[in-house]
Amino acid sequence: MLRKFIPILFVILTSLTFGSSINWVENFEEGLKNAKESYKPVVLYFGSKGCKTCEHLKTGALSDEKVIKESSNYVFIHIDLTIPSEKTIGIFQKFSTKGEIPQLSFLSPNGQEIKSLKTIGSINTKQLLDRLEELKSTVFWFENGDDALEISKKKAAPLLIFNLDESKKTKDLIFEIDEMNSFKGYAEKFIWFKTTNTQKDGKNKSKISQILAATTISSVIILDSYSDEHKQLNIVNSKYLKNEIDTYYKSFCEKYHCKNLTICVKCSKTHINTVKCCGEITLKIKAFYCEKCETASPSQNRCCNSDKIAILK
C-alpha cells in the first residue's frame, strides 16, 4: 500500500540503512555536484522508515545484486522523510506529483528530471534495471560548450557539437534525438552539446567558439578533445549521422586507449597519444588511473576514497 506523505515530525529519530553496497549520498546538493563533476545520471529516492512499501522497495529491487553492480554508473541520492525538515520537504515537493512515497525520480547529470521514468510505489528489479538502462541511454545536452569540452577530456569521449539553424531537417533530427530516443546506442559514447548561437565573435577565444566560427550552421562537428582535430558533418538525416559517428567512434577507440596515456613532466598535463607538451618531449611514465571518476595522475595512488586504481605503464 502506498503511503501518503504528510510532513509531521516524528519523535523517534531513525535512519535508513541499506543492506547493500549501493553508495548512497544523503545530501541532495552534494549528490548533484558529484553527478555534474562525474557526468553520471542521478537516481533520487524518497522514502521513510515505517512505510511498508518503502521497506519492500528497499529490501527488494534496491538490494538486488544486479542493481548494486549497475549502481556505480549513477549517483544515488537518498532523501529521508522519516523526520522531515523544511529542506527535505522542499525537495520532495519539487519532484513529487502525488505526494506519495516511495518515489524514484531519475535525473540527468545536470539535475534535469526525466519525468517519463518516475515511479511511485514499489517496483521489481527488472523494472528498475529497465529504467536505469533507459536513463543511461538518454542524450543529455550541455548548455555550455566549455563545460562540454571539459567533460569530454575527462571522460576521454568525443564531443558532438550541433550547430543548429531553424530548418525543418534540423528540427526533425533534434526531435528524433530528444523525443524518440533514436540515438540511444550512442548517448553514452559521446558528449553532446547544441547551440543556435551563430554569431561569429572574434574576441571569444574559447576552443568551442573558434570551431563554431570556422564552421557552417546546420552542421554537426565531431571534436577530438585531445588532439583538437575535428570533422564537420552536414545535417542530412539521422541515418547518415549514425553511420558517420559510428565510423568515427570505431577509429577513436582504436586510436585511444589508456595504455597510450602520456604526462608532461613539466606541467603534469595529461595527454593521450601526444609526445610533445610545453615545447618538450613528454615521457611515457607510470600513471595512476581512477576507474571511478576516470581521471589520471602521475603520482596519485588513491582517488575518490576508492581502491579502483589501475597502474598505467
The mean pLDDT of 114-118, rounded to a whole number, is: 94
Residue 204 has pLDDT above 50, yes or no: yes
How far apart (Å, rounded) are the C-alpha atoms in residues 79 and 97? 16
Q: Go through the domains of the chain in sequence order and give each one's CATH number.
A: 3-136 (3.40.30.10), 141-255 (3.40.30.10), 258-312 (no CATH)
Residue 143 has pLDDT above 80, yes or no: yes
Kindly state the greatest CA–CA separation across the chain.
67
pLDDT tier for residue 272 given thresholds of 50, 70 and 90 = low
Residue 228: predicted pLDDT: 84
Tell me the pLDDT tens digit for each residue of 32-53: 999 998 889 999 999 999 999 9
Q: Mean pLDDT across the chain, nearest whole number?
A: 80
Residue 215: predicted pLDDT: 87
Residue 140 has pLDDT above 50, yes or no: yes
Residue 295: predicted pLDDT: 58
Residue 285 has pLDDT above 70, yes or no: no
Cis amide prior to 102 (ω within 30 degrees):
yes
Residue 159 has pLDDT above 70, yes or no: yes
Q: At what angle do helices 168-178 and 238-255 cross, to 10 degrees?
A: 60
Residue 290 has pLDDT above 90, yes or no: no
The mean pLDDT of 6-20, rounded to a whole number, is: 39
| DSSP reduced 3-state for 79 | strand
The mean pLDDT of 62-70, rounded to a whole number, is: 94
The mean pLDDT of 57-81, rounded to a whole number, is: 94
Residue 81 cell numbers, joined:
522523510
Work out the percent of the chain whose per-residue pLDDT is above 70.
Answer: 72
CA nearest neighbour of 309 among 295, 293, 294, 289: 289
Residue 274: predicted pLDDT: 55
Cβ partners under 8 Å of residue 119, min gap 6? 103, 104, 127, 131
Out of 84-98, 214-228, 253-267, 284-298, which region has the weakest mean confidence (pLDDT)?
A: 284-298
